[in-house]
Chains A and B, each alone.
Chain A
Amino acid sequence: MDFKELLKNVLTEQFPGGKLQFSEFTDELTVTVSRDIYVEFCAFLKTDERLAFVLLEDLTAIDWATRKSRFTVVAHVFSIANSSRLKVKAPVDDKDFSIDTVTTVWQTANWHEREVFDMYGIIFKNHPDLRRMYMPEEFAYHPLRKEFPLMGIPGSLPLPKKS
């Protein structure tokens, strides 16, 4: 059986009740999960022997700007045993922009989540060390949000004086 079919079957079997939505673009499979089972779902992906998505390649977020649920967290996971990739998407809570962390599943999520926090201001609950990744701690904005201008906000970052 094709691995994608197997993947769909295993996942719908494990998480019944329409909690998962599959979509496909070109040959890439995306699964959207609801926020409450996000961490559980990721843990299953990693620990299940048939799937074995052991490598978290990337974790990022998308700012949809005008949509109702504004931010979506996207994780790209890779199964070395099956040479197969999967996108996992989860919507972020609109009230306080928060979602659970997957650092407990993959350690590498630590820095990825810090980066997302820095760039989008999404708070990852239970993250061990949530602080800014790139920008200085004093910086008050989140640059990759759509309302942030490309050239930044004048005066938001200090420069040393030219004596």
Chain B
Amino acid sequence: MEKLKKEIVHPKIIQALLEQDNNLTVEDVLDNEMILNMGPQHPATHGVLRVVLRLDGETVIACVPELGYLHRGYEKMAENMGYLEYIPHTDRLDYLSPPANNVAYVLAVEKLAGIEAPKRAQYIRMIMSELARMGSHLIAIGALAMDVGALTVFLWTMREREKILNLYDVICGARFTTSYTRIGGVAQDIDSATLINIREFIDQVDENVDEIEKLLNSNRIFIERLEGVGVINAQDAIDFGLTGPSLRGSGVEFDLRRATPYMFYNEMDFKIPVYKEGDCLARYFVRADEVRESVKIVRQCLDKIPQGPVLANQPKKVMPRKVEVYTRMEELIHDFMLVNFGLNPPVGEIYHAVENSKGELGFYIVSKGEGHPWKMKIRSPSFVNLQALSKLCIGHLISDVVAIIGSLDPVMGEADK
């Protein structure tokens, strides 16, 4: 192994590492301790996260996460493109649950522009969000298990996820980056045969999750590597701004689907899984339970889904269907106006947040009444959750850092934006 050169680590990172004891110099530290660079290309950092660790033997004394290796300038791009154009970009934020991001974005724009999507579209959006949540949690569980050494689980969860991707493929025409929602509705209706397929899929999820849990929950190595590792109590978790499974693993019953219901989540019957321990194992349990709750929500949606249109009838704001554009004059004019001048929402600003698989995904849009936003801020859960990493790691062994990152389940696409 090559020795870490001093110039590879920026002095400001070193300074952040040494923060607690200001009288130390880097040379002192390098004599007695060790500074270890982990990432950005590392199998266990879930993408391009870079963590610089200061170690005493194998114990972590300080930890500085370094982000920005996947900073793609989403917010700048949003200021330079129309509201409609931006939908495909939201796919690639949290790329483990693309439809859920689409939904979050269009809900924000609809709130700003005062559009209400039809009921059937809302139900379809809920189904898609919950499928996305299942897929994302399955990958999170699989990747966490892989990080601590159980490869089989990863292959099993991958197998389950492929089934979800097949459903996307039928519903949206793309297996991964769906871009499924439109402002005012969804791209196309789900036909009844696909609804039956979704039901067939969710009917067997519980069984498969049981199987995965059987493999993990009785695995002593898995339990011992996670239990009591990376503990954060409820107060600190709120103070660090954690949301999603990471917060619920610390005993705070906070879920935006309940706290500020959007779509029809207030009509759904589901539990919010909460564990008090606040360690990596608790976060894993929360995810596994949430998959089951999602199954319940999808089942209720399938039972309740009404018939009707899937696109709102507000021609000045909602893009018409392509077939209509080709055959009717009015629609052609509206299409022309929307494409050229864009959706012009009123002057104002809104913040709309939804509960995504990683936590609270919020869009803050400032409009000056133009076709493109004046400012758009994405409040990404992974970014905020990662902040707790430097606290969680302290005092643990270096192998636990891997488990902690896995249990926080960051996706760098949205953490770096």
Contacts and interface: CB of A to CB of B under 8 A. Distances in A.
Would A and B touch once assembled, by the CB under 8 A criterion?
yes
Contacts of B112: 26
Interface centre among A28, A55, A133, A136 (most CB of B within 10 A): A55
Contacts of A85: 260, 351
Contact of A57 (B16, B348, B360, B366): B360
Interface residues of B, number: 42
A11 interface: no
Given A110-B387, A143-B76, A150-B80, A63 B375 contact: yes
B387 A111 contact: yes
B12 A131 contact: yes
Given A58-B377, A80-B252, A143-B73, A87 B68 contact: no
A155 B16 CA distance: 29
Interface string A82-117: 010101000000000000000000111011100100
A107 B239 contact: yes
A43 interface: no
Contacts, number: 97
Contact of B240 (A76, A107, A143): A107
A108 B241 contact: yes
Contact of A74 (B10, B71, B364): B364
Q: How large is the interface on A (under 10, 10 to 19, 20 to 34, 35 or more residues)?
A: 35 or more
Nearest to B112: A26
A10 to B, nearest CB: 21
A151 B406 CA distance: 34
Contacts of A76: 351, 362, 364, 379
Q: Which of B10, B241, B360, B379 has the most CB of A within 10 A?
A: B241
Contact of B239 (A106, A132, A136, A150): A106
Interface of B is mostly: mixed
A57 to B, nearest CB: 6
Given A26-B348, A129-B19, A137-B12, A58 B379 contact: yes
B362 A57 contact: yes
Contact of B10 (A30, A112, A137, A148): A137
Contacts of A132: 68
Interface of B: 10, 12, 16, 19, 67-68, 71, 73, 75-77, 80, 111-112, 114, 238-241, 243, 252, 254, 259-260, 348-351, 353, 360, 362, 364, 366, 374-375, 377, 379, 383-384, 387, 416-417
17 contacts: A54-B239, A57-B360, A57-B379, A58-B362, A60-B375, A74-B364, A76-B364, A83-B259, A107-B241, A108-B384, A119-B75, A129-B19, A132-B68, A133-B68, A134-B71, A143-B73, A148-B76
